[in-house]
Amino acid sequence: MRGSQSHELETDVPASELWKIYGTLRAAELLPELLPHILAKVELVTGDGGVGTIVRLTFPPAILIYDSHHQLSYKEKFIKVDNKNYVKEAEAVEGDILKLGFLSYMIRFEIIRKGANTSVIRSTIEYEIGDEHPELQAMVSTASLAATAEKFAEYVNTQKVAQANT
């Protein structure tokens, strides 16, 4: 069974400013710092942030799947980084998300220009699960991606204020 979920957030941040985070490894640096309850650690396995880059995502201990001694983690590979259209796609290539029974799991970020100083962050999860794991559909949620979008937009605005005051 295939499925997808999307979330959109309209922001008062220029698309180019958001892409400096989403389109680079800066997102990997900021996520554990700004949202440690969602993502404990992001480790660069290989690459420079472009297509082919692989990162390991480790979730906080509160997100347990097997037992109290195992943190959920998986590796994702950047399969698309479109710096012109501000689109990034990353697919799970190894780890717990696939061990749970997902046949595929891909996240897409699109930063859409609305105006000179406004944009929309569209976050999409596309997945496939086998018929023997229908319960996995209930696990798919864009809540963490929505929180990330809000926090990144807030971060850019905070940085602008800080720079203006120096």
| pTM, to two decimals | 0.91
pLDDT tens for the 166 residues of the chain, in order: 999 999 999 999 999 999 999 999 999 999 999 999 999 999 999 999 999 999 999 998 865 554 445 678 999 999 999 999 999 999 999 999 999 899 999 999 999 999 999 999 999 999 999 889 999 999 899 999 999 999 999 999 998 767 767 6
Looking at CATH, the fold of the domain delimited by 2-165 is given as Alpha-D-Glucose-1,6-Bisphosphate; Chain A, domain 4 (3.30.530)
Task: Based on the residue annotation, tell me whether 88 is a catalytic residue of this protein.
Answer: yes
Inter-residue contact 86 to 122 (CB < 8 Å):
no
Query: Can you give the residue ranges of every domain in the chain?
Result: 2-165
Which pLDDT score is estimated for 66?
47
List the catalytic residue out of 88, 99, 114, 151.
88
pLDDT at res. 166: 64
The pLDDT value given to residue 164: 67
The CA distance from 23 to 16, in Å, is 10
Phi, psi of 15 (to 5 degrees): -55, -40
